[in-house]
């Protein structure tokens, strides 16, 4: 038997809600990271900036799937009422 949690994760609406929360928190994480004073002693390459952006994006996706799951579930339930009538 498949548990309701696994059904939610296979649902495209739940995945879209998770991506939405992840994208919001990506902006939060990026603003937090940019608020840290940076030194000009060692110049950052474009590859290092790209890597940092991708790392923050992956952190936000994982946070949305685990730590922010109650927020994702709340958004999912609000949207599912209108979508799955």
- 85 pLDDT above the threshold of 80: no
Give me the pLDDT at residue 28, please.
95
Predicted confidence band at 82 (pLDDT cuts at 50, 70, 90)? confident
Cα end-to-end span (Å), the chain? 24
* Cβ partners under 8 Å of residue 23, min gap 6: 60
Q: Which of 3-7, 8-12, 34-38, 81-85 has the lowest mean pLDDT?
A: 3-7
């Amino acid at each position: 038997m498949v548990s309701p949690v696994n059904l939610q994760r296979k649902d495209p609406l739940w995945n879209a809600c998770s991506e939405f929360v992840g994208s919001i928190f990506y902006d939060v994480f990026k603003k937090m990271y940019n608020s840290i004073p940076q030194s000009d002693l060692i110049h950052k390459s474009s590859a290092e900036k790209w890597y940092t952006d991708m790392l923050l994006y992956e952190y936000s996706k994982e946070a949305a799937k685990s730590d922010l799951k109650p927020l994702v579930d709340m958004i999912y339930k609000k949207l599912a009422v209108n979508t799955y009538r």
